[in-house]
Amino acid sequence: MSKAPRKTGILRSVMTKTPIREGSMRERTWDSKSEVSDVERHVIHSMRQMENTYKLEPDESQKFKPGKVEKVMKDVLSEFLTDVEYDKTLGQRMSKMLADTIKTRVKEFKWSRYKLVVHVVIGENREQDIVAGSRFLWLDETDTFASTSFSTKSLFALAVCFGVYYE
């Protein structure tokens, strides 16, 4: 009795509508002449880069440094808010824009394996006090945060950046 040839169907990616061949990508070897789409090559290359390193702590040069982050946050807040008068419609959009700017500038330090969470609060300055608290599940050895504040005669801003190391 001869074996019937195995049927190989074609799967389609939801995002790209490109055909993806059935079978394990890891078992295949590709040369430059094979008929493999760029999407498949990218998937294969990404699979190689996503290997776990089993590192439980960052290298000393890759640790989140709160002092550097505080300087960046202080610079961003003063750059964008120095000549701004408080308006109640300002808060939401300006907070989001400042948080995105801070996050982008902190990412320039290229601390690998850190998730960044940035929170900015803007309010009207009426000579009042404010107390803000945050709860976070983390490890004291690897995770940390930086915070800073900024105020003018009409507004105040609080910024916090959490650096959470992921294994």
Contact yes or no for 13/20 (Cβ under 8 A): yes
The answer on pLDDT for 91 being more than 60 is yes
| Distance, CA of 63 to CA of 165 (rounded, Å) | 9
Domain map (residue ranges) of the chain: 10-49, 60-165
What per-residue confidence (pLDDT) applies to 57? 82
The pLDDT score that the predictor gives to residue 128 is 86
The angle at the Cα of 115, spanning 111 to 119, to the nearest 5 degrees, equals 110
Q: Any alpha helices (H) in 16-150, and if so which ranges?
A: 38-49, 66-81, 90-107
Mean pLDDT of 38-62: 69
Q: In Å, how far are 6, 14, 21, 46, 78 from 35, measured between CA atoms?
A: 20, 21, 11, 19, 55
Query: Is 4 or 92 the better-scoring residue by pLDDT?
Result: 92
* Whole-structure pTM value: 0.67
Q: Under CATH, what is the fold of the domain 60-165?
A: Ribosomal protein S3 C-terminal domain (3.30.1140)
User: How confident is the model over 18-45, as pLDDT tens digits?
Assistant: 444 444 444 444 444 455 566 666 666 5
pLDDT higher than threshold 90 for residue 147: yes
Q: What is the mean pLDDT of residues 106-120?
A: 93
User: What is the chain's mean pLDDT, rounded?
Assistant: 79
CA geometry: angle 111, 107, 112, nearest 5 deg: 25
- How is residue 3 annotated by DSSP? P
Burial class (CB in 10 A: 0-12, 13-18, 19+), 16: exposed
